Amino acid sequence: MKEIELVISQFIDNELNDEEQKKLFVVLAEDQNLRQTLSDFMQIKKNTSEHYKNITTELFRPAIKQTGTEPNKKYKTMFYFSLAASIVFATLLAWNQNSKDEISKQYYALQSQFKSLERQYSNVKEMKTEKESFSQLLAKKNVRTKFKKWISLKTIPRLPNAEFLSRIKQKYEAKPVNSVAITKEDFIGGQIVGN
C-alpha cells in the first residue's frame, strides 16, 4: 500500500514516465482508498504552494555599499578606455616612425648632396685662390722677372756667348797645365819611375 502511495507522490510531482503512469492508473482504477490518497496529496500540494505564496513580510534591505557591480562597470569602462588609448598611441607611434624614416631619408640625401656641393665649392674656391695668388705673385715686378728668367732657364737651353767663351779660353791657355808624358817604353820591362 505504502509503495503505491510513494508512486502517487511521485506522480503528483510529475516524476513518473508514461509507462509508470499507465500502471498507476490501472491500480487507481481498482482502489478507492488510493484515489482518496491521490486526492489528498493533490490538495496538500495545492494548499502548500498557496500557503508559501501568501507569506509576505516587510523586509529591510541590508545597508550595504554596493561594491560589487558598479566598480566592476567602472573597471570595465576604464579597461576599454585604456585599451582604446593604447591602440591609438601605438598607431600614432607607428605612423610617426614611418614619417621619421622618410624625413631621415630625405635628410641624409640632402646632407650627401650638400657635402658634394661643399666639396665642389671648396675645389672651385681653391682653384680660384691659387689662380689669384699666382696672378698676384706674377703682378709683382721682380717676381715676374725672376719667373721669366727661371722659365727661360728651365725651358730654353742657352748657349754660351762668344765673349764668355773667349774669356774662358784665355784663362786656361795662359796657365799651361803640368803634364807627364807616358810612353810605351815605360811599360816594357822597366819600372815606372816617377819624377
Residue ranges that bind other proteins, judged by CB under 8 A: 5-6, 9-10, 13, 15, 40-41, 44-45, 47-49, 51-53, 55-57, 59-62, 64, 66-69, 72
Residue 65 or 184: the one with the smaller Cβ distance to other proteins is: 65
Residue 52 or 187: the one with the smaller Cβ distance to other proteins is: 52
Min. distance of Cβ 42 from other proteins in angstroms?
Answer: 10
Question: d(Cα 19, Cα 86) in Å, to the nearest integer?
Answer: 65
Min. distance of Cβ 22 from other proteins in angstroms?
Answer: 20
Q: Which residues, at least 6 apart from 76, have a Cβ–Cβ distance to it below 8 Å?
A: none
Residue 2 or 171: the one with the smaller Cβ distance to other proteins is: 2
Residue 68 or 176: the one with the smaller Cβ distance to other proteins is: 68
CB 4 within 8 A of CB 34: yes
CB 7 within 8 A of CB 24: yes
CB 20 within 8 A of CB 7: yes
Query: How many CB atoms are located within 10 Å of the residue 8 CB?
Result: 22
Min. distance of Cβ 50 from other proteins in angstroms?
Answer: 8
